[in-house]
Structure 1
Amino acid sequence: MSTTTAFWSPPLPAMPGAEHHVIETPGLSTHLAAIGEGEPVLMLHGCPEHWWQWSRVAPAVAARGYRVLCPDLRGAGWTVAEDPRLRRTTRLHDVLSLLDALEIDRVHLVSHDMGVLTAIQLSYEHPQRVRTAVQLSVWPAFATIGPRLFPAFTHLPRFIWHRPGASLAGTFSPRYVAHPMSPATIEAHLAPLQRPEVDAAVRPLTRRLVLPEAMRMLRGVYRRRRLTVPTLVVFGRQDRPTTEDLMGRLCRAPQRYADRIEFAYVEDAAHFITDDAPQEVAELCVDWFARAA
């Protein structure tokens, strides 16, 4: 484990109070930002973001007595992999290896966007490792996928057919944010794409993680399983088409599929909810940890 940051390229964006480490596991050097002391909270970022997505959420959660861990998942941020190949559960195995290396048995799990897919896998396959879960901007795995949800996938072609060097700045368009991001914020989110291996991972992550998991949801794989981890699902009210009405239709009788699941909706926030409403996200997380653990 190392706290040296001088060698990071491109330079790391700032999160006051954070420690930066490299966690070595077989075939992977994971960059990890950590802050606070207490029960461990693992935050899994979305795409095309990285650990810094949590830069305004993690300190607020840490201030309430938690040790918040924000890794760069394989193919993102400043994490380095010996083997660039990615499969549906590659990131799941990476997370398990990371927890083992840190000697952490159980975590509160917070995830957003693509990170939710790995969180879902962890919750279903290894529920003993998850104390509580908060998933942001993605429906429960047992939801009935229907045509009204298809607009949520309109951004995928730019990732499926991503060309090396092509800008992903359009991902942060008004379609996905309630409050326009500054150019500096967008640049910080996209900075690791300067690394060829991160840029090259965009297509395989979409094709080998997102699409296979979407197909599993479409086929009802998770409706034939039981979610035992207490889970809070959070959406921004401006995150179309995942409205409260639609989620009520697609997730009827959730008690049939989950021991304990609740939904929350944040005003004045869209898909990139951690940028639009970081304090609200932090408060929801801390409240759920306390109520559901």
Structure 2
Amino acid sequence: MDTPQHDTLFPAEWPALPDAPGFTHSIVETPGLRTHLAEIGEGDPVLLLHGCPEHWWQWETVAPLVAARGYRVLCPDLRGAGWTAAADEHMDRETRLQDILAILDELGIARAHLLSHDLGALTAMQLSYEHPERVRRAVQLSVPPAFMAFSLRTLPGFKHLPAFLFHRPGASLRGTFSSEYAARPLPDAVIDAHLAPLRRPEIDRAIRSASRRLIVPEGLRMTAGVYRRRRLTVPTRFVYGREDRFWNEAIMRRICRHPERYADRVDFAYVDGASHFMTDDAPGAVADVALEWIEQDAGAPTGGPEAIRWG
């Protein structure tokens, strides 16, 4: 269903925005980029970064729940996704990071809470490590910490990557939402809404660019232990679905031993009835686990084993 703002913001031939009551839509202009921003609520800013092949609408149920607790929730379409238009859809490892910094500057936001999922978590991770002064607290969904230790047990968690690395324009990505990654079947209408922007050729082409020039280089850095030689200072909660067969509590305990060596304050939490696409499987629980972390007392302990919780 189209929103009344579509005709004034986007070319008529673009796919219609999916319906999401309560959101306002605008364009944030930064050099070489016209970012579509969906926004709801007022208060301290919470920035939500979507996964792939999704866009702002991934948060259509989560964002209103966060906003209802007194927050201004910002859901941008990242470069190469959704209804954002770029002079060049190609990107390198930090292109989206620089985009987010420019957007925050344009909006006059010095610091924000951060909630991210899947591919958006890579950009969120970069923001936390490279510009911790811009992040208050972070919640990362369905993706392991950058300081994880790779092992053969982690390889199944990357079995979906070839479909993105070798994506041919026009090829269907509906299989991404299979039962391997969702706790329950997603309705066709929901999958259609997630995939609608791929009808724009430049967005379809960007799938391969983001995979090869963002995921692969960042993955190689993680494999090489770059982030195990750095320190995460932003308080961060890592959240996984109990039904996620690739990233579960047993795996996380194995690949994230002694997290206090790499982070000041981290927390591992798990959502019942959810798999990888937890914002579809259990949006209410996602909102709750994110808000509980964001709203923790600022005087909570930092540093040392006492600052680490495993859920």
Query: Which one of the candidate residues 153, 167, 176 is aligned to 1:171?
Result: 176
1:86: Cα distance to partner?
A: 0.6
Q: Which of 213, 229, 234 does residue 208 from structure 1 map onto?
A: 213
Q: Does 1:90 align with 2:118?
A: no
* Paired residue secondary structure (1:228): coil
Closer, same or farther in 2 for the Cα pair 1:40/1:69, shift >3 Å? same
Secondary structure of 2:296's counterpart equals helix
- 2:64 is aligned with 1:59: yes
Separation in 2 of the partners of 1:117 and 1:58?
Answer: 20
Q: Normalized against structure 1, the TM-score is what?
A: 0.98
User: 1-side partners of 2:84 and 2:45: how far apart?
Assistant: 20
1:6 aligns with 2:11: no
Question: Equivalent of 1:233, from 232, 235, 238?
Answer: 238
Q: Secondary structure at the match of 1:232?
A: strand
Contact 2:90 2:210 in 1 (8 A): no
2:238, 2:268 within 8 Å by CA — same for their partners in 1? Answer: yes
1:46 pairs, out of 42, 51, 55, with: 51
Alignment partners' CA distance in 2, 1:90 and 1:138: 20
Structural mapping, 1:127-166, within 5 Å: 127-166=132-171
Q: In angstroms, what is the RMSD of aligned CA positions? A: 1.0
Match of 1:189 in 2: 194
Verify: 1:101 aligned to 2:101, yes or no.
no
Letter in 1 for 2:190: T
Distance (whole Å) between structure 2 residues aligned to residue 42 and residue 197 of structure 1? 25
Task: Give distance in 2, aligned partners of 1:140 and 1:290.
Answer: 21
Give the Cα–Cα distance (whole angstroms) in 1 for the partners of residues 216 and 242 of structure 2: 25
Deviation at 1:4, TM superposition (A): 3.8
1:23-52 superposed Cα distances (whole Å, 9 cap, x missing partner): 000000000000000000000000000000
Task: Select 2:115's aligned residue among 105, 110, 118.
Answer: 110
Unaligned segments of structure 2, at least 5 residues: 299-311
Match of 1:75 in 2: 80
Indicate the percent of aligned positions where both proteins have the same amino acid: 63
Which of residues 255, 260, 278 in structure 2 aligns to 1:255? 260
- Partner Cα separation in structure 2 for residue 74 and residue 202 of structure 1: 10
Give the drift of 1:238: 1.1
Check the 8 A contact 2:118/2:143 in 1, yes or no.
Answer: yes
Q: Contact (CA 8 Å) 1:132, 1:292: kept in 2 or not?
A: no
> 1-side partners of 2:297 and 2:56: how far apart?
25
Q: CA deviation at 1:240?
A: 1.6
- The alpha-carbon deviation at position 5 of structure 1 amounts to 2.5
Return the letter of the residue paired with 2:109: I
| 1:192-221, Cα deviation, whole Å (9 max, x unpaired) | 000000000010100011111111111000
- Alpha-carbon distance in structure 1 between the residues aligned to 2:111 and 2:89: 28
User: What letter corresponds to residue 24 of structure 1 in structure 2?
Assistant: E
Deviation string 1:166-210 (CA, Å, 9 cap, x unpaired) is 010000000000011000000000000000000000101000111
| Letter matched to residue 77 of structure 1 | G
Query: Does the CA-based 8 Å contact 1:230-1:292 persist in structure 2?
Result: no
Partner of 1:19: 24
Q: Displacement of 1:292 after TM fit?
A: 5.7
User: Which of structure 1's runs of 4+ aligned residues deviate more than 6 A?
Assistant: none
Secondary structure of 1:123's counterpart equals helix
Q: 1:277 Cα shift?
A: 0.5
For residues 134-162 of structure 1, give each alpha carbon's deviation from its aligned partner in whole angstroms, at most 9, with x where no partner exists: 00000110000111010011001111110
Q: Which residue of 2 aligns with 1:289?
A: 294
Shift of 1:85: 2.2
Task: Give the TM-score, by structure 2 length.
Answer: 0.92
Gaps of 5+ in 1: none
The residue type equivalent to 1:225 in the other structure is: R
Deviation at 1:14, TM superposition (A): 1.3
**Which of 13, 16, 37 in structure 1 is aligned with 2:42?**
37
Query: Are the counterparts in 2 of residues 41 and 66 from structure 1 also a CA contact under 8 Å?
Result: yes
**CA-CA distance at 1:15 after TM superposition:** 1.3
